[in-house]
A and B are shown apart, each in its own frame.
Chain A
Amino acid sequence: MTSDLAVHVDRVTRRFGDVVALDDVSLAVRPGELVGLLGPNGAGKSTLLSLVSGLRRPDAGTVRLLGGDPRDARSRTRLGITPQETGLPATLRVHEVVDFVAGHFPDPVRTGDLLEQFGLTEQARRQTGALSGGQKRRLAVALALVGRPRVLLLDEPTTGLDVGARQALWDAIRAYHADGGTVLLTSHYLEEVQALAQRVVVIDRGVVRADDALDTVLRRVSLRRVVLTAPDDLSAWTGVVRAERPVSHLDQARQTLLTPDADALVRDLVLAGIDFRDLEIRGASLDEAFSEMVAAR
C-alpha cells in the first residue's frame, strides 16, 4: 500500500542545531491529490519540501517519493520542483535554462512548446536577469513541468504576482492536476489554497495541526478583522482575541480587533453605545488566523 503513495513522510523529525524544524511529522499523499501546505513563516513547510525533494536527510523517520528514496537521483526523474525566481542564473538565456533543465530528464517537453504554454516565446532569447518578476515566476513553474513529472512541489508559486499573472499560473497548475498529476503546494494566501487545493495540511512549529478537507480547515481558521476608529481602547472587549493599534500612525485611535464573530462584536459595541466610526470588516490573513489558532492551544 505505502509504495502506491506519491509522497510518504513517516514520523519524520529534523533538527537544525537546537531548533526542531519538524517534530514527528507524518504525511501521506496519494497519486492525483492536490494538497495545500499551510502555516506561518518558519513553521517547517520548506524543510518538509526539502526532505521530499532529497535535499536534506531526516534525523529520524523515513521519506518516500513514488516508493523510492528521494536522495537517490532515480527517484527524482518523475519529480518537478520550482527554483526560487531570484535564483535563476542571470547570464543564461531563457531557452538555455529550459534546455539545460530538460536535459536531465529522459522524456522532456519540447522547449518551444513549453515556452509557448507559459507565454514566454518572445522572451526565449533574453537573459533571465532581464525578465520581469512575473515572467521569472512563470519560467520557474515551467521548469518544474519540463520533465513531465508525476509529483509537483510548489513553494509559494505566486507570491508577489498581480491578479492576471496569478490566474494564468493557477490555470497551468489546474491543467497539470487534471491530467492526473500530484501537487503539494505551500502558500501564504488563503485565496490560493481555496482556488487550488482539495485537502489542506496545517503545520506550525514543526507539528501538523490539522490535516483535513479544505472546508473543514477553513472553518477553523475563519477569524474576522474589525477595523474602526474609536477613542476608547477596545482590546479587552468580550469576543476580541487580539487587538492591534498603529505604532507610529497619525491616527492613534484607529484600531484593529480580531474576533471569531464580527457580527456579535459590532452588535455589542452598538448596544453599549460605544462611539466609533469608519467601520471595516474583512477576513483575517492566514498568518493572523494561524497565530490565533496556535496561541489558543
Chain B
Amino acid sequence: MSTTTVSPLRLTWLHLRYQFLETVRIPIAVLGSMLFPALSMAFFVVPQEQVARNPVWATMAVAGLGLFAVMSASLFTYGLGVAEDRQLPFDPYLRSLPAGPGPRMAARIGNGSIFALLGLMPLIIIAWLLTDATVTAPRLAAGVATILVASVPFVLLGMAVGYSLPAKAALPVVQVLLFPLAFAGGLFLPPTMFPAWLDAASLATPTRAARDVLVDVLTGVGAPGSAWPVLLGWTALFAALAVWAYRRDEGRRFR
C-alpha cells in the first residue's frame, strides 16, 4: 500500500501555476496592482521639485513607495484574499487533498512576488523618466531582490489575518495595520524628519527595517545594524502566527 505523497516542491509548483492562472484570468486585478504604485509616484513625488530633482531623495522616495506598494498588495491579497477564499466552497475541498499547508502558502508567497514585480515595473519606469532617481544596474537588481525578501513578513502577516478572521473583519484590520506601519516605517516621509522618540520607535517596526535595508541596497547610504535582525525577527514571528492560524482554521465557523 502506498502512503507516499507527492513531493512538496512539485505541489508548490502546481499551486503556483494554478493560482497564477486564476489571477490572470481576471486582468483588471493585475492592472490595478500594476498602476497603483506608478500613479502614486506620478502624483505625489514627481511634482515636488526638491525631491524629484535630488538623486538620493528621489531614489529614497521610489524605495518607500515601492515598498508600500508591495506591502499593501501583500496585506490585501493575503489578508483579504485568504479570508475571502476561505468562504468559497472550493476551499474545504482543497484542504481535503493530500497536501499540507506548506505548498499552498509557499505558492501564495511566490505569486505575491510575481505580481509585486509586475507592479514595480511601471513605478521604476516613471521614476527613471521623470525624476533624478539614479541607480546602477547591479544595485537595481539587488534592490528588486531585496524588496521581494522584505515582502515576505507582510505576506505572512496578511495570511495570519486572513486565516484568523472572516473577510468583513479582515478588511478593517488590514487597513488599521497598513497605514500606521507604513507611516511609522518612514515609507511616506523620510525618518530624518521624525522627532527623536518616533525615530526610536520606528527602528523596531518591520516597515522601517525593510526600508532601511532597501535604501542601503539602492543608494549605499548604510543601514542601522538593527535592520536585518529586526526584519528577520518579525518574519519568524509572523510565520509562526500564519502557521498557527492555518492549523486552527477549519473553514467557515458555524454558530
Contact = CB atoms under 8 A, between A and B. Distances in A.
A103 B6 contact: yes
Interface of B: 1-6, 10-11, 14, 18, 21-22, 25-26, 88-93, 95-100, 250-251, 253-255
Of residues A100, A105, A107, which shows the largest number of chain B Cβ atoms within 10 Å of its Cβ? A100
Interface stretch (A77-85, A116-124, A231-239, A257-265): A77-85
A73 B5 contact: yes
Nearest to B101: A73
Contact of A104 (B26, B97, B251): B97
Interface string A64-89: 00001000011111110111101111
Contacts of B100: 73
A16 B97 contact: no
Contacts of B98: 73-77, 79, 104-105, 147
Interface stretch (A53-61, A170-178, A281-289): A53-61
Interface of B is mostly: loop
B255 A17 contact: yes
A103 B5 CA distance: 10
B18 A50 contact: no
Given A56-B251, A73-B100, 12 more contacts: A53-B96, A55-B95, A55-B250, A74-B4, A77-B98, A81-B93, A82-B93, A84-B89, A87-B93, A96-B18, A103-B6, A104-B99
Given A55-B96, A55-B251, A73-B98, A106 B22 contact: no
Given A76-B97, A81-B96, A92 B18 contact: yes
A84 B91 CA distance: 10
Contacts of B18: 89, 92, 96, 100
A294 interface: no
A91 interface: yes
A8 to B, nearest CB: 16
B158 to A, nearest CB: 21
Interface in A114-166: 127, 147
A81 B1 CA distance: 20
Residue with the greatest number of chain A CB neighbours at <10 A, chosen from B14, B92, B98: B98
